[in-house]
Amino acid sequence: MSTVNEVGQLPGRRPRNRAGAGLSGRETMLLLIPALLPIVILSVIPLVRGIYLGFTDSRAGLGVPTTFIGLDNFRALLDDELFVNSFKIGLIWSFAVTAIGFCFALGLALLLSQELKGRWLARSLALVPWAMPSVIVGIMWKLFFQPQAGILNEILRRLHLPGETTDWLSSFSWALPAVILVGVWAGMPQTTVALLAGLQSIQDELHEAAAVDGATAWQRFRTITLPQLKPVIIAITTLDFIWNFNSFGLVYVLTEGGPAGKTQLPMLFGYSQAFEYGEFGYAAALGSVMVLVISAVLVFYLWGRLKETR
Amino acid sequence: MIVNSNPRRTRTAQYLLLFGYVVFLGFPLLWMLSMSFKGPRELVQLYPSFIPEDFTLENYRLALTEENHQFVRSAVNSLKVAILTALLTTMIGLPAAYVLARRKGVITRLGIGWILISQMFPLILIIIPLFLLLRDLKLTNSHIGLIVVYNVWALPFVLWMLYSYVRGIPPDLEEAATVDGATRLQILTGIIAPLLLPGIVVTTLFAFITAWNEFFFALVILESPDLTTLPLRLAQYVGIEGVVRFGPLAAAALLATIPSLILFTIIQRWLTRGLLSGAVKG
């Protein structure tokens, strides 16, 4: 019956006889349109327009004429110390949160895959940040770091450790590390869940066979767990990096980018440019640069991982 | 199972580590809970205690009633926006997700490609043109405008989740029904819909949670205090200085977390499957 080759499908060819796919062209369009229309009108076109706006002097006010100014915004961005600073901080933050968060999550996922009593508690707690609005995560940690009423300094005082009078979120040297810690906490769920799912998909036989051969736990982790987990690791760290680089609410609530721009992530800078100063064109150009930076990092990262597997 | 010179020591180390994680993950939550039960005098006290000394519910009363019940009004706004967003995106996304899952070829590749690429674009790049568009339509500072933006933003992951749920249903079922002479509509409503129902519910609830938690777009789109959603309201709360304010702030933050926490507890078992099966299989 089947006239279409199951495997060697040509991309343009309509697979009419495939199992469950007896959709005619008209049916396909009918089913797609409810999603396709909003995607094109409200997502694709605005995105293209957003990129275009980066080449204009668009401003927030109504009826202000917009003119094409070429690369002026991008030149201005490169000369803007605040912009360069925000990208530096954005990269530090994204790398730190992704890397530290990954290590924390991997440790937790490995523990959760063991038969430990009370692991349900750690598992449930690890999921809580996922359900919490980022604003509330920010508020919660603000209460934790608060210099007088917060608990951190009180713990330090009772343990006779240094730093009991530090105002963590206003400190030039501590604000960024403090914010990174919060980022790690907030990012735990997705990463842990992804790694846990990856761990569960590794066949037990592999571990058993290695154990019979006398491999230690560490050897098995290095030669079985890590390589088997690799696709999941690459996928989740990539996503984490993108999410972190584009992060906004958490840091906005914690520090609003302060003190003196020490925690000013690119999105915070972009937000203030666009909606506080009304520089739409400038902020749009910044958005495009963010895409470029993310793409560059990803190409570099994925290319490196790909070469490793060869 | 573990080949180690000292299994008991390994176990102890594992429990210690697990305990460390529980503290790291749970302690800030407990502290917020503790602060929400502290009276004004205790909040300004120099050396705070972990367990409230004079336990009070006053903060919760304040959080709910202050400024003419602003918290409750914001909650109603959040509820309205989140429900409409969740229902609308799922309804829009469902047919398309079915096509993506069942048809191979260009459309699927374009669709999946768009879902992935849309994850990469910073919100600032999409919100400026959307803001201009909504302004032209006189929809800024309105819930409709916010719901439109939320739909744009939620559609990729809603599509992704529904797509992986549809793929979980064996195509053979539909094939058999086609052989038996069932029409497309009969197949969709009679076979696919019932099997997909759990997936649809999980996706809708997840979209609800995400909209309920969202902050950035609300900050850009909404201006009037009457329209404020909860995250926006809470963020404004933070701006008000003074240690005494932390009590009601903690209470309000906890109250605002409850709905999404409950829903999340319900769906979390299915959620991980829906979010990851596509990635693993794809």
Residue A118 lies in a domain: yes
Measured on CA atoms in the order A53, B216, B83, B92, is the torsion positive or negative? positive
The span from the CA of A153 to the CA of A161, in Å, is 9
Average pLDDT, stretch A28-57?
90
Which of A:231-270 have CB within 8 Å of B? 232, 235, 239, 242, 245-246, 248-249, 252-253, 266-267, 270
* Residue A68, strand partner residues: A56
Domain count, chain A: 1
* Residue B55, strand partner residues: B38
Would you list the domain boundaries of chain B? 70-281
Q: Which residue of B has its CA nearest to A47?
A: B126
Residue type, A252: Y
Using the predicted structure, report yes or no on whether residue A280 has a pLDDT greater than 50. yes
Does A277 contact chain B (CB < 8 Å)? no
Which of B:17-46 have CB within 8 Å of A? 17-18, 21-22, 24-29, 31-32, 35, 43-44, 46
The span from the CA of A238 to the CA of A298, in Å, is 7
Contact B40, B247 (CB under 8 A): yes
**pLDDT value of residue B272:** 64
Does B243 contact chain A (CB < 8 Å)? yes
The span from the CA of B117 to the CA of A43, in Å, is 12
Contact B217, B123 (CB under 8 A): yes
**pLDDT value of residue A5:** 36
Task: Quickly state the pLDDT bin for A7 (edges 50, 70, 90).
Answer: very low
The span from the CA of A140 to the CA of B29, in Å, is 7
pLDDT less than 50: residues of chain B: 1-3, 278-282
CA distance B58 to chain A (A): 18
**pLDDT value of residue A307:** 76
- Among the listed ranges A63-72, A83-92, A181-190, which one has the minimum average pLDDT value? A63-72
The span from the CA of A23 to the CA of A2, in Å, is 15
- The candidate with the shortest Cα–Cα distance to B281, out of A177, A282, A46, A201, is A201
Residue type, A268: L
Residue A207 lies in a domain: yes
**pLDDT value of residue B158:** 92
A242 to chain B: which residues are within 8 Å by CB?
119-120
Residue A27 lies in a domain: no
Residue A192 lies in a domain: yes
Name the residue with higher pLDDT: B240 or A75. A75
Which of A:132-191 have CB within 8 Å of B? 132-136, 138-144, 146, 148-151, 154, 157, 185, 188
Q: Which of B29, B32, B175 sits opposite A20 (nearest CB)?
A: B175
Omega of the bond leading into A177 within 30 degrees of 0 (cis): no
Which of A:58-77 have CB within 8 Å of B? 58, 62
Task: Quickly state the pLDDT bin for A10 (edges 50, 70, 90).
Answer: very low
Share of chain A above pLDDT 90, in %: 47
Residue A236 lies in a domain: yes
Q: Based on the number of CB atoms within 10 Å of its own CB, is B120 exposed (0-12), middle (13-18) or buried (19 or more)?
A: middle
Which of A:14-43 have CB within 8 Å of B? 14-15, 18-23, 27-28, 30-32, 34-36, 38-39, 42-43
Average pLDDT, chain A: 86
**pLDDT value of residue A197:** 87
A135 to chain B: which residues are within 8 Å by CB?
213, 215, 231, 234-235
Residue A132 lies in a domain: yes
CATH number at residue A202: 1.10.3720.10
**pLDDT value of residue A48:** 93
**pLDDT value of residue B2:** 45
| Domain extent at residue A253 | 72-309
The span from the CA of A258 to the CA of A253, in Å, is 11
* Residue B38, strand partner residues: B55
B22 to chain A: which residues are within 8 Å by CB?
118, 121-122, 125
Q: Which of B48, B120, B279 sits opposite A294 (nearest CB)?
A: B120
Average pLDDT, stretch A102-108?
95
Residue A66 lies in a domain: no
The span from the CA of A304 to the CA of A309, in Å, is 9
* Residue A56, strand partner residues: A68
What are the tens digits of pLDDT across the range A133-143?
999 999 999 99
The span from the CA of A97 to the CA of A182, in Å, is 9
**pLDDT value of residue B48:** 84
Q: Is the CB of A19 less than 8 angstroms away from the CB of B172?
A: yes
**pLDDT value of residue A185:** 96
Residue A271 lies in a domain: yes
CATH of domain B70-281: 1.10.3720.10
Task: Quickly state the pLDDT bin for A15 (edges 50, 70, 90).
Answer: very low
Contact B87, A231 (CB under 8 A): no
Q: Is the CB of A46 less than 8 angstroms away from the CB of B133?
A: yes
